Copies of this chain bind each other. A is one copy, B any other.
Amino acid sequence: MNRSDKVLPGACPLPVTNYEQVTLAHGSGGKLTHQLIQQMLLPQFRNELLEPLHDGAVFSVNGTRLAFSTDSYVVHPIFFPGGDIGELAVNGTVNDLAMCGARPLYLSVGLILEEGLPMEDLWRIVQSMQRAASAAGVMLVTGDTKLVDRGKGDQVYINTSGVGILPDGVCIHPGNVREGDKIILSGEIAVHGIAVMSVREGLAFETEIASDTAPLNGLVQSILAASNKVHLLRDPTRGGVAGALAEIAESATLGICIHETSIPVSEPVKGACEILGLDPLHVANEGKLLAFVPADEAEQVLQAMLAHPLGAKSAIIGEVVARHPGMVVMETAVGGNRVVDMLSGEQLPRIC
């Protein structure tokens, strides 16, 4: 698939023979998303700030290091157990900034409303955004509202972008990942994806599964207070833990080994995943993070995470290894090994 060496200047760098049109899978957080970014967007926009493919860009202005991040939210439905698109949009960008090690300060709000959206629904979403901003300690300082005709949108899409400040000494970066790093996961996975899928598919589970959407900047502060040697933070949203780890392994050209039995999954989510035929490793999270930490600091970071309400079920789930570079391998519960890869198709469209 890597045709970048054969591409004529100005020609579309994606294999249009395979994909003449954009497909839903290009938004899955899986292989096609990765391909779109790696082969089209990144080479075109290439610059040293975009290069690291972090959750946000980090740059200095007059000696102050800032992080800047953007995310659009197209989740369907817009209201789901445990949250709504407004809360998700605020927490999502707060989290992207936090994953850069930044303290989130200011957010922008771009609303794309579909003609016919009930005014009361908009009002609920707007209130929810303000509540989420207050809870995360950020301010919504600038905004924009656009309208599209009926049938050219889906109730509401929201973009939030955010600016945060990096404390001195913090350097969280995909390029820092080293062999021997321990990988700590902050809690039970696949909750958000299953919460959204359950309403979308009209499934009623015995226990309602509510989205884990939450602002992680407080948890990140605890982590950074426990260790100033954290190498990388990543919130495994679209594409799930599998997608996040596969991307990190590829960019670091190192192997990642994870242990199935150490990955926290709640019983209701496990059951729902079985019913829906989903692998929880690929299901989106909106209130969890992965921390890559040198082995000798892992225990103190784990303890700090366990002491935080949003990290109470944290666990060390694996480590970075020199073998199988670029690849994530899971030791399964039954003692075997399997490769954990990005999804090649589309599993859960419009999950965030």
Which residues in A have some Cβ–Cβ distance to B below 8 Å?
10, 12-14, 16, 19-28, 33, 36-37, 40-41, 44-45, 47, 49-50, 56-57, 59, 61-64, 66, 68-74, 76, 105-106, 108-120, 122-123, 126-127, 129-130, 133, 139-149, 151-154, 157, 159, 161, 163, 165, 349-350
Contact = CB atoms under 8 A, between A and B. Distances in A.
Contacts of A116: 21-22
A180 to B, nearest CB: 30
Given A62-B62, A161-B159, A57 B22 contact: no
Contact of A41 (B20, B108, B145): B145
Q: Oligomeric state, in number of copies?
A: 2
**Best-surrounded residue of A13, A28, A112 (most CB of chain B within 10 A):** A112
A49 B69 CA distance: 19
A62 B60 CA distance: 12
Nearest to A128: B44
A151 B148 contact: no
**Best-surrounded residue of A22, A37, A76 (most CB of chain B within 10 A):** A22
A111 to B, nearest CB: 8
Contacts of A21: 115-119
Contacts of A72: 110-112, 144, 146, 159
Contacts of A71: 110, 144
A129 B22 CA distance: 18
Contact of A110 (B45, B70, B119): B70
A349 B112 CA distance: 13
Given A61-B165, A68-B163, A130 B14 contact: no
Contacts of A27: 113, 145-148
A73 to B, nearest CB: 8
Contacts of A157: 112, 146, 148, 157
